[in-house]
Amino acid sequence: MSTYHLQSVFRPASVAIVGGSPRERSAGRAVVRSLRAAGFPGQIGWVSPRYREIDGVPTVRRLTDLPWVPDLVVITAPARMVPRIVSIAARRGVAAAIILTAGLGSGPGSAAARVESAARAKGLRILGPHCLGVIAPHARLNASIAAHCPQPGDLALISESSAIAAALVEWGVARAVGFSAVVSLGDALDVDFADLLDYFATDYRTRAILLYVEHIRDARKFMSAARAAARAKPVVVVKSGRQLRIDPNADTHVQALASSDAVYGAAFARAGLLRVRALDELFAAAETLGRLSTFPGRRLAILSNGGGVGHLAVDTLADLGGTLATLSAPTQQRLEQALPQEWSHRNPVDIVVDADGERYAAAAGALLEDPENDAVLVVNVPTAFTSSAEAAQALTRILGQRPRHHRNKPVFAVWLGNDESATATLNAARIPTYATEADAVRGFMHLVRYREAQAALMETPPSLPDDFAFDAAAARGIVDAALAAGQTWLDPLATTRLLAAYGIPTAPVEHAADAEAAAQVAAPMLAQGSAVAVKIHSADIPHKSDVDGVRLNLVSVEAVRDAAEGILARARAARPDARIDGVLVQPSLLRPKARELIAGIADDPTFGPVIVFGRGGTAVEVIDDKALALPPLDLRLAHELIGRTRVSRILKAYRDVPAADERAVAMVLVKLAQLAADLPEIRELDINPLLADRDGVIAVDARVAVAPSRRLHKGRGHPRFAIFPYPKEWERRIVLNDGSAALVRPVRPEDDALFRSFFARVTDEDLRLRFFQAVKHFSHEFIARLTQLDYARSIALVAIEPRSGDMLGAVRLHADADYDRGEYGILIRSDLKGHGIGWQLMRIMIEYAGWLGLKVVEGQVLRENRTMLAMCQQLGFKATPDPDDATLMDVVLPVAQH
């Protein structure tokens, strides 16, 4: 339901408290006091079957006794009474309820289930149960059991834990940090993280959103809302339960590597959220992001009056992945002229212990104008020689005087000691200040990571190679046959065929039932001059090395026979319970410069399929050099995934080892993501090792686990992906009015160049009619918003001329967070009007709206755009004058009537 009725949670016109009490230390008493102390200006009703008055205010016995219907009901009554209260509230038309009561249970027949059923039937929104409540300081609403009410501000806090929410409120009150809202989810029977992210993403009072997360229930809904919110404003998240959990009983290496916290980290990064590690970092990051502009790099200049503090800052910067800026020659010369001989003559710039305000101003001014750094950290250590307050005043003065083109460069301040005057001066100038140099460097890196996350959301990926092809039908046949036979693991030959269907090079493999058969299979391989490897073949033994089940570099038939006999004997002795299917025989691969990698698909219970990459071999869990990403992947995301591992460094050339083909490695990851998209039945896929050298890649050993997968209603997307994959099923062939054919397909992230060439062939007048203003330049950010789509909420369908690849037109549809209404936009190449392109794109778009479950498609058209208005009328849209703009017509189509 997303944002439906959430306005009544945070800005209600009237509130009723059901279960209020005069008893001390009761939730009913706490809420009554909180609501009254906050000065809520709206109507308040007190409902209590036990007490005739509370604090001198008369009560009514039942919710139905109120002569008016409240927007919001706050429930503190005993658990056994809550379902009936919710049912009455729903029937009366109450918009939202906050349930502070705990103990409603879970599952069929529980009080929680009855509450959910009654609320859903009437569209009543439920926050909780078992939650702290809601605080909305701007609305003077405190419907919570928090000890204090924070001041109004621009931070929205969403916490899964009531205790954490209460603690953060106290932290904020003590430091005069203001909030636009504080809300705890409790058991999240209805309202969840995604709903609140959607709400605060469009709330003008909220500058940044802070999340405390323990677990996510609906991964797809969360990812869609989180990405939309992160595009609008900073979203900072802290998650508990970070300790590494490697399952020693995992059947594949990739499954063992995909710890729950690592998957959450990958999800947060993909959505563009900034993850921090502790609660104090949560506010520090929000403070930094709120006060400073982003910048293009990670080069930091450090200015201090004490060398030791500056060097500690450098150490922290290196630990966190930042870069110590190099002083440019003009800046070096400027500092030499302004500073005493004893200064450090390099970055960090130590201006010596007796530095006064003028020296600070001279050094800071030089660094602020230096193009070789991206931000400046200024540190002051209190001394008997100078005044810290004077240094703060000098810094703020020089910041006010800097040229306009340098005003966006961020400045971070650390004034050690307790000089309140200096701190007040810096705060008045909105310079973020930190207690220590380490905190300041972390603040700098928060800004770096946030900017990089935002850039990643907008970055255009490279196009896939023209020969990127896969045989999904063949792969489907392999998996379906295995499932029909009751198999949970593909046999090695089927695994080889599956990988080959997606163009992943694999080492040839032959099966042998016993040692004699192994010798016969090996003979032709040996005759070609290749040594061979023999491995145990058993679906019950996931890791061959556990039973000493591998022998390599065998060069004779006799050696193969002996190796096979030994492998089979050891396996039966070590695992008498296992089904032994024989051995596998492979020609040895002579690639001495190859790196051993691991790549595969793990299965996460929350986020579904996860792509895993890292250092391969038998000790992968011990080395623990891995990175994870949620599919789908493009080449940019694949290269970024590789770059997050230590093994990526040795993919580059070193000593006598040529660089490995990293693009080939990236293509394997893209293909695995495509395989996961096409085959939801793939539960685990482990390629270990994947050998990579300058000649490309080859999968030496692989395992694939399969299981039946549920089907989604109307086939909406992937049943297990957390991120809606490319909707290939909406690719169509259409015939235009002149008999020519065109391809209609959803837009892809790599379509930046396609849109640029398209816009070049649209007249200025047609662009004005589409965008309601003259458009002369299309920035990368503008086009990225057209091509980098969340397919769960938006679709853009482009018509393509098959031979030339030129774009003929495009139609867009963006659904609201409630999946109730969708807004469309359309543009056709100016020289192709009258060919029927717009008509056909509109019809497909309307069909898509119905498939998505939207009730209404709407848009705005300039009153003078008669061609568009005529087409809308023919398609069934109703056009009415826009009440706020006489130049516009609002067009609306009920999808169900089309």
DSSP 68-106: S--SEEEE-S-GGGHHHHHHHHHHHT--EEEE-------
CATH number at residue 759: 3.40.630.30
CA distance 477 to 485: 12
**5 has pLDDT over 90:** yes
Mean pLDDT for 474-478 is 96
Angle at 643 between CA 641 and CA 644, to 5 degrees: 70
| 419-439: average pLDDT | 89
pLDDT at 263 over 90: yes
Q: CA angle, corner 163, sides to 225 and 153, nearest 5?
A: 60
Closest Cα to residue 347, out of 381, 392, 378? Answer: 378
Residue 713: per-residue pLDDT: 52
What is the pLDDT, as a whole number, of residue 21? 75
Among 389, 406, 431, the domain boundary falls at: 431
Spatial separation of the C-alpha atoms in residues 214 and 700, rounded to whole Å: 39
CA angle centred on 456, ends 648 and 693, rounded to 5°: 20
The verdict on residue 368 lying in a domain is yes
Q: How far is it, in rounded angstroms, from Cα 583 to Cα 534?
A: 7
Give the helix/strand (H/E) hosting 795. Answer: strand 794-800
Tell me the Cα Rg of the chain.
Answer: 32
- 246 pLDDT higher than 70: no
296 pLDDT tier (thresholds 50, 70, 90): confident
Q: Confidence class of residue 776 from pLDDT cuts 50, 70 and 90?
A: confident
Segment 579-587 mean pLDDT = 91
Q: Does the residue 802 lie in any domain?
A: yes
Q: What is the 3-state secondary structure (H, E, C) of 329-360?
A: HHHHHHHHHHCCCCCCCCCCEECCCCCCHHHH
Mean pLDDT, residues 789-810: 93
Percent over 70 (pLDDT), the chain: 98
Distance from C-alpha of 519 to C-alpha of 95, rounded to nearest angstrom: 76
**What is the mean pLDDT of the segment spanning 841-862?**
94
Q: How many domains does the chain have?
A: 2
Which of 193-202, 457-466, 630-639, 695-704 is predicted with the least confidence, judged by mean pLDDT? Answer: 457-466
Q: In whole angstroms, what is the distance from residue 392 CA to residue 369 CA?
A: 19
What integer is the mean pLDDT of 195-221?
Answer: 95
Q: Could you tell me what percent of the chain has a pLDDT over 90? A: 72
Residue 244 pLDDT exceeds 70: no
Average pLDDT over residues 650-666: 94
User: Can you give the CATH number for the domain in which 311 is found?
Assistant: 3.40.50.261
Q: How confident is the model at residue 279 (pLDDT cuts 50, 70, 90)?
A: confident
CB 410 within 8 A of CB 379: no
Distance (Å, rounded) from C-alpha 75 to C-alpha 98? 6
Mean pLDDT, the chain, rounded, equals 91
More confident residue, 599 or 590: 599
From CA 204, how far away is CA 154, in angstroms rounded?
A: 9
Q: In this structure, is residue 815 part of a structural domain?
A: yes
Which has the closest alpha carbon to 597: 613, 621, 611, 586?
Answer: 613
pLDDT-based confidence at residue 769 (cuts at 50, 70, 90): confident
Which one has a higher pLDDT value, 715 or 445? 445
- pLDDT tens profile 489-520: 998 889 999 999 999 999 888 999 999 999 99
Calculate mean pLDDT across residues 468-491.
92
Band the pLDDT of 712: cuts 50, 70, 90.
low
- How high is the pLDDT of residue 258? 77
pLDDT for residue 249: 60
Q: What is the pLDDT of residue 284?
A: 81
| Whether the predicted pLDDT of 222 surpasses 80 | yes
Confidence band for 716, pLDDT divided at 50, 70 and 90: low
Per DSSP, 654 falls in state B
* Contact predicate 625/680, CB 8 Å: no
Q: 797, 811 in Cβ contact below 8 A?
A: yes
The four Cα atoms 189, 195, 196, 198 give a dihedral, to 10 degrees, of: 180
Give the pLDDT confidence score for residue 714 in this predicted structure.
54
Average of pLDDT values for 472-476?
95
Highest mean pLDDT among 28-37, 128-137, 271-280, 457-466: 128-137
Sign of torsion, CA 791 795 796 801? positive
541-550, 804-813, 886-895: which has the minimum mean pLDDT? 541-550
CA–CA distances in Å: residue 552 to residues 383, 548, 556, 571, 584: 69, 12, 12, 17, 12
Distance CA 24, CA 52 (A): 17
Q: Which of 376, 396, 431 is a domain's end point?
A: 431
- 53-109 pLDDT, tens digit each: 877 778 899 999 999 999 999 999 999 999 999 999 999 999 999 999 999 999 999
Question: Does 771 reside within a domain?
Answer: yes
Query: What 3-state class would DSSP assign to 393?
Result: helix
In our burial notation (b when 16+ CB lie closer than 10 A, e otherwise), range 609-637 reads bbbbbbbbebebeebbbbbbbbbbbbbbb
534 inside domain: no
Q: Is residue 871 part of a domain?
A: yes
User: Half-sphere exposure of 101 toward its Cβ, with a 13 Å CA cutoff?
Assistant: 26
Report pLDDT for 780. 86
Grade residue 176 by pLDDT with cuts at 50, 70 and 90. Answer: confident
Cα–Cα–Cα angle for 653, 656, 659, rounded to 5 degrees: 25
Task: Put the strands of the sheet holding 856-862 in their side by side order.
Answer: 732-735, 741-746, 794-800, 807-815, 821-828, 856-862, 888-894, 878-881
Give how far Cα 234 sits from Cα of 206, 227, 455, 780, Å: 10, 11, 13, 20
Is 874 within the bounds of a domain? yes
Domain that holds residue 382: 293-431
Query: What residue type is 461 in one-letter code?
Result: P
110: Cα separation from own chain's centroid: 34
Give the confidence band of 14 by pLDDT, cuts at 50, 70, 90: very high
What is the spatial distance between Cα 177 and Cα 252, in angstroms, rounded to a whole number? 48
In a domain, 324, yes or no: yes
Residue 729 burial by CB count (10 A; 0-12/13-18/19+): exposed, middle or buried? exposed
Task: Assign 740 a pLDDT band (cuts: 50, 70, 90).
Answer: very high
Residue ending a domain, choose from 431, 461, 487: 431
